[in-house]
Amino acid sequence: MTTFDGREKAFEDKFAHDEAMMFKARARRNRLLGEWLAAEFGLSGDEVKAYAASVVKADLEEEGDEDVIRKVMKDIEAKGVDISRHRVEKHLDELFVEAKAQLMREV
């Protein structure tokens, strides 16, 4: 293997690793969002886990955050809770930082 081939392989490996970490961070962020909203909805026990899992699953529908935001805003409206879209988007950003930090501590 030439030096160039080695560098190319290392770059590809790093890219794959970074993508996997990003996927895990987004899933963790969505779970944290689901847990926060479950508390806001007054859910407890297994209901929290189930709701958080449904938020994670919602992110698999399309690229970006719109699928998650659409799902949780629909749930917020149905529960009659006073949480704005802006607050959800801001919380998503904050939770993404937290999710990445949690993953880094685990590695």
Domains of the chain as residue ranges with CATH: 3-106 (1.10.790.20)
End-to-end Cα spacing for the chain: 30
- Give tens-digit pLDDT for 36-76: 999 999 999 999 999 999 999 999 888 889 999 999 999 99
Tell me what pLDDT residue 65 has.
93
Please answer whether residues 79 and 62 qualify as being in contact, where contact means their C-beta atoms are separated by less than 8 angstroms. Answer: no
Helix (H, G, I), strand (E, B) or coil at 77: helix
Q: Which H/E stretch holds residue 98?
A: helix 85-106
Tell me what pLDDT residue 6 has.
78
Tell me what pLDDT residue 88 has.
97
Confidence of residue 10 (pLDDT cuts 50, 70, 90): confident
Q: Token match 């030439």: residue?
A: 2
Tell me what pLDDT residue 1 has.
58
